[in-house]
Structure formats: C-alpha cells, structure tokens
Amino acid sequence: MILIFSQHRFYRHLVIELAEAEVTLTGKPKNPLTFIDPTDMIWKTENQEELKFYTGIAKFRNNYDAGKSESDLEGLKALAKNPLGLDVYLHDDKVSTNITATSIKPGKLKVLKVDLTLNVDEEGDFLNSRPD
C-alpha cells in the first residue's frame, strides 16, 4: 500500500488516496494502481492510531471543502504519524491529470517542530507584540 497526495483536478483542494501497487525491482510502484477505500480498512484493525490514520485519509479522499476545520488538522496529524509506515507519493498533474505510476513521485511526510516565542511589551495603554 502507498499514500498519494494530490490536488483536486478542478477545485485544487488537497486530496489523499490510499492505493495498492506492485513494485519494480528498484522499489517504484508500477501500473495498475488499485485505489482502496480507507473506510473498508477501518474494519480490519483494532489499533487506535491506524483507525485515526484511515479516518484521516477518508476525510481528504473526496475533499470538496475549501474551509479549514479543527478536524482537518487532527486528520492531518493522524496522517503525519503514518503508523503503517507507508511510502508517500506526490501526484504531478503536469505529467498526467490521472494518478498513474508514472505521474507520482516519492515524497516525505513529517511533522515540523515549531519553536515560537512571543514577547509582549506594555507601553502605556498599549501592548506591542513581536516574535523572537
């Protein structure tokens, strides 16, 4: 199984697909890619991290919503953990509008650590903030 990140053809929203493919001797997926409904996989696991992972994929599988919600962020966090250790690919729609073995490129999925410090200075009736 592999995880494929792409953009919706018309709306340009994030779309995430779960697929199966045989691999070449060099480890690259080859056609045909068989897309898997992540909700079918939910019934095959008892592991909570895997359940969240599959649910996150399902949330972005047919994504038509331009808005961002807290559940979107939680879904992305569950995906970033990648509890199954799946290889991640990015779809290049310049190669083909369809997701095929030739139109996907290897990618990396990780959570970036954010280190932010905020200083607040009181000047009379005003508070001024500045990042460090």
- Using alpha carbons only, what angle is made at residue 69 by residues 68 and 70, rounded to the nearest 5 degrees? 135
**pTM of the predicted structure, to 2 decimals:** 0.80
More confidently predicted of 49 and 122: 49
More confidently predicted of 35 and 68: 35
The mean per-residue pLDDT over the stretch 84-110 comes to 94
Q: What is the predicted pLDDT for the residue at 132? A: 56
Per-chain mean pLDDT for the chain: 88
